[in-house]
Amino acid sequence: MSGAGPTLRGMTISSAQALAWRLGRQHLLSGAATAHEVVRRLGAVPAWSGDADLAVRRRLADPAPGAVAAAVAAGDLIRTFAFRGSSHLMAADEAGAYLAVRTASRQWALRSWQEHYDLRPDDWPALLDAVRGALADGPLDREAFAAAVTAVPRFAHLGDALLHPSMTLLKPIAWHGELCFGPSPDGRPTFASPSASPRWRGLPDLDEAGRRAVVAYLGAYGPATRANLHYWLAEGLSAGRRRVERWTDEVLRDAATEVAVDGEPALLLREHVAEVEAAEPTDAVTLLAAHDQWVLGPGTADERVVPAARRAGVTRGAALVLRGGVVAGTWAAGPGGALDVTWFAEAGSPPEDALDAEADRLGTLLGRALDLRVGPG
């Protein structure tokens, strides 16, 4: 594996040790104190899947209903466009770093964008000023927001684009840190300024942001391969493979090292090496919401987390059962209170007691009693 800086020549870490440590880092063995702490550690939580609340509350020591909504209302979390063009919950004090990375592609400067929207790259500072002014006094619904922006003569032609269901034009505005989703008391989206959050810190310099993103990823998803980092940043945020390689090499010089996981090279922050080497493998069983960051962070192609034969089902969005951090089955909760767990044969015998305990935990999160039924798959 290419890279700068010294290679750690210590013991080989097992994949089971690495996953056990990662389970702890992602608050799946003992809960975090706040929703902000969970989302900040994970980097981002998909808001488009409908399971964001369950994904975060599963990681809380006190998973009170409304914990996520309260964190958004307080400005601790924001919902904005980030990874892969989709909406995500992000910690307001770290979101700017990921958004800065997302701007690296300069998608709005592509000729196709300029022609489609009749916007030149040198129009964007004025457009962002118009957005900033529109949201200066608080959230607006889509119609009011579009009306405020198109009141500027240069942007009068953008009404249809600003109201288009795809929200495509809104995404680079969000990446610049000038727009996020506001409250939706009646289910209709509104837009707000991220600066309304007391935790918002703006967008840092691109290279600073890239290094911070690499460090944050290794702190949550390490030990990680360069392929994992490319999936997260080069593909997820369109940062470009060369940039990600450079940022990774810089972090490897300053804060990370290479380790061997089952004999294969991976990257880990130096401050975590001793913890991972001392980690004890676990058979802990965990029920996760669909599209959980446990698998979306490293990517479903990472066979240490997702067995290759099961990748298609995970990618389609099945709710997952983990055993020791490895996908071992799927689950579905029916309206009548049934909790159907499909246990994969390669995961061994189903651990009934551990599944019962997780079913009780899930029932608490969902607010209803669940009747566990386990079948082969």
The pLDDT tens digits of the residues spanning 315-338 come to: 888 999 999 999 999 999 987 899
The pLDDT tens digits of the residues spanning 87-136 come to: 999 999 999 999 999 999 999 999 999 999 999 999 999 999 999 999 99
Write out the DSSP string of 319-356. EEEEETTEEEEEEEE-TTSEEEEEE-GGG-S--HHHHH
Put simply, whether the predicted model's pTM sits higher than 0.85 gets the answer yes
pLDDT over 70 at 6, yes or no: no
For 300-314, b/e burial (b = at least 16 CB within 10 A) is: bebebbbeeebbebb
Question: 130-139 — which CB contacts under 8 Å span 24+ positions?
Answer: 130/155, 131/173, 131/178, 131/179, 132/178, 132/193, 135/178, 135/179, 135/191, 135/192, 135/193, 136/193, 138/182, 138/192, 138/196, 139/182, 139/183, 139/190, 139/191, 139/192
Cis check: omega of the bond before 194, within 30 degrees of 0:
no
Q: What is the pLDDT of residue 377?
A: 84
pLDDT over 90 at 5, yes or no: no
SS (H, E, C) 22-44: HHHHCCCCCCECCHHHHHHHHCC
117 token code pair: 């929207």
The pLDDT tens digits of the residues spanning 232-262 come to: 999 999 999 999 999 999 999 999 999 999 9
Distance CA 126, CA 325 (A): 48
Q: What is the pLDDT of residue 10?
A: 60
Nearest to 7 by CA among 275, 253, 276: 253
Model confidence band, residue 9 (pLDDT cutoffs 50, 70, 90): very low
Q: Which carries the bigger pLDDT value, residue 351 or residue 1?
A: 351
Q: Which residues contact 286 (CB under 8 A, 6 or more apart)?
A: 23, 28, 58, 321, 322, 325, 358
